[in-house]
Structure 1
């Protein structure tokens, strides 16, 4: 009996992961829009189903909430490892997604423990069927989301001195402070241009050597620089997850020898739910802005 219990315990970790992986693969192949978007149901409904499936294997056991959360953590680790090995997800992406997976696997596990405890087979089937229906409907529906992030700093230098560094700046040697940069996410280190004019090419170079290819679309000396992203690197951390569309710097002469520098970025997000992933997208974008703008400030204020 103990051996049987042990096998059910192990199966409760393995089978739900394999089943949800298979469901995700099938729905991805059947997706109607072909956008490659990773949608709400893949990070909310599927983890809940995983937790419910696991609870079915463990329905004969007595375990408290703390133990359930420990098992939810183990299920999350297995799911993360499978994503890394077979889906090619980058390590930073997996760090970002893991709290969401853990939370909804835990919800599903607690819900499943209570659900199977009542022994109501009709309710069990109807709830699981409803979650599967939501998952399929969500995966076959078109999704789109765009956002703009803006940041401002004051530079203690006139606009004429700030402007050249806005267009292009020398290499940043200061270590990155943002925790995702410290974990290995590439950070901006340099920008170069083919000319100080409208239509010129611009490159934003990151710490791992990846380069964003850009084209200057607005060039108003000492006032505004706007550039379209013409090509972004095929980095597994961003490829298919976010498209950076354009960037912009606006300079405002404060009339007292200082300049207000505004950095704007526009992007399209391809991972959902927005309420979770856009928090990360905004945070990363903001820290890219501030790393570059603080460097521009340092160069401009240099005596």
Structure 2
């Protein structure tokens, strides 16, 4: 076999095998083990792809490692192969990969630059490479003892509607079944999240209850905590993980789980000077990871997509009916 082909297989294959072994190790369900090694960790999300990139370039030829372009983009190849392997084996879902892929690619490129430095200026520095490979297993337990601080975020959306307040409010308190063709939740659809189906209050006032029903068995249990007819409705939201089929959401993004939970929602109807009404919808949700700065950004984007989807349905029905 051609030496260049063998060299390429080594440079790409070893990082893929390494990443797969780390993923399997961090996903093991053993007593006490998963307290120290977790997939939903900064170690896995940021350190692993950096090591993949470093190994890819370090294991390449001296000539290739000199190229900055090679250092930046070649590490993407084992990352993408790792992606397809975990998807094919059912280890990870599309939703998780779409959210973490930007970080993986960026970190892999940073690792590639570092690997190029080692290859160029620290020739045959096998000790540093060996330590680097073991780093996730050294850093993981340290990260596990750092107490995560849950962070609460607000997702705010609104829409202007040309309809009487009473008609708008009827569509707020009672969202009749939403056909597929009216679903405009582009992001959530791409991520494979359940789409909204219907929601209806059992009565209008404080203490009222409704189920916001989504496809794939997802249900938000909502209880009204503040109510002003045709003006404002505040409600608590609870999703119970045990009610959600395991095939509905990836375990790392399940609503009401260890890492992500929706807390409450608020509708407010405002009369505008031009005769229109502005319907505000905002919610609060909680993230509980060691990388809330990134997870919170995705959570806000997802919640806004869900809310905008509901608002456009309520607008269309209020203006037409």
Whether these two folds match at TM > 0.5 is: yes
8 Å contact kept, 1:176–1:182:
no
In 2, Cα distance between equivalents of 1:30 and 1:75:
27
Aligned 8 A contact 1:54 1:109 in 2: yes
Instruction: Name which of 71, 93, 96 aligns with 1:93.
Output: 96
Deviation per CA, 1:257-300, whole angstroms, max 9, x where unpaired? 53221111111124553333333222221121111112212222
In the alignment, the residues of structure 2 paired with residue 6 and residue 39 of structure 1 have an alpha-carbon distance, to the nearest angstrom, of: 30
Residues 26, 291 of structure 1: alpha-carbon distance in 2 compared, 3 angstrom cutoff: closer
Closer, same or farther: CA 119–255 of 1 in aligned 2, 3 Å: closer
Partner in structure 2 of residue 247 of structure 1: 265
**1:213 corresponds to which of 193, 212, 221:** 221
Which residue matches 1:128? 132
Paired residues of 1:72 and 1:109 also in contact (CA < 8 A): yes
Between 110-119 and 80-89, report the one with greater CA deviation: 80-89
Q: 2:194 aligns with which of 183, 186, 211?
A: 186
1:154 CA drift (Å)? 2.3
Which residue of structure 2 aligns with residue 12 of structure 1?
Answer: 14
Please state whether the residue corresponding to 1:244 is helix, strand or coil.
Answer: strand
Give the corresponding residue for 1:160. 166
Deviations 1:201-236 (A, max 9, x none): 212222445322222222222222122222253532
Partner of residue 42, structure 1: 44
Measured at CA, do residues 27 and 231 of structure 1 come closer, stay the same or move farther in structure 2, by a change above 3 Å? Answer: closer
Question: Structure with the greater relative contact order (CA < 8 A, sep ≥ 6): 1 or 2?
Answer: 1
Q: Quick check: 1:140 aligned with 2:140?
A: no
The alpha-carbon deviation at position 147 of structure 1 amounts to 0.4
Deviation larger for 16-25 or 95-104: 16-25
Q: Does 1:105 align with 2:108?
A: yes
TM-score, with structure 2 as normaliser: 0.78
State the shift of 1:129 in Å: 8.7
Q: CA deviation at 1:162?
A: 1.8
Identify the match of residue 118 of structure 2 among 111, 115, 118.
115
Q: 1:261 aligns with which of 242, 261, 279?
A: 279
For the pair 1:171 / 2:177, whether they are aligned, the reply is yes
Structure 2 residue runs without a partner (length 5+): none
The answer for the alignment partner of 1:76 in structure 2 is: 79
Is the contact between residue 150 and residue 286 of structure 1 (CA under 8 Å) also seen in structure 2?
yes
Change (3 A) 1:158 1:70: same
* Deviating more after overlay: 117-126 vs 77-86: 117-126
Q: How many residue pairs get matched?
A: 302
- SS at 2:74's partner residue? helix
Match of residue 53 from structure 2: 51
Once residues 231 and 210 of structure 2 are traced to their aligned partners in structure 1, the CA distance between those partners, rounded to angstroms, is 18
- CA distance, structure 2, for counterparts of residue 231 and residue 211 of structure 1: 6
> Structure 1 residues 272 and 141, CA, compared in 2 at 3 Å: closer, same or farther?
closer
CA RMSD of aligned residues (A): 3.4
Work out which of the residue numbers 185, 202, 207 in structure 1 matches 2:210: 202
Distance in 2 (CA, whole Å) between partners of 1:193 and 1:33 is: 44
Q: Given that residues 148 and 265 in structure 1 are in contact (C-alpha distance below 8 angstroms), is that contact kept between their aligned partners in structure 2?
A: yes
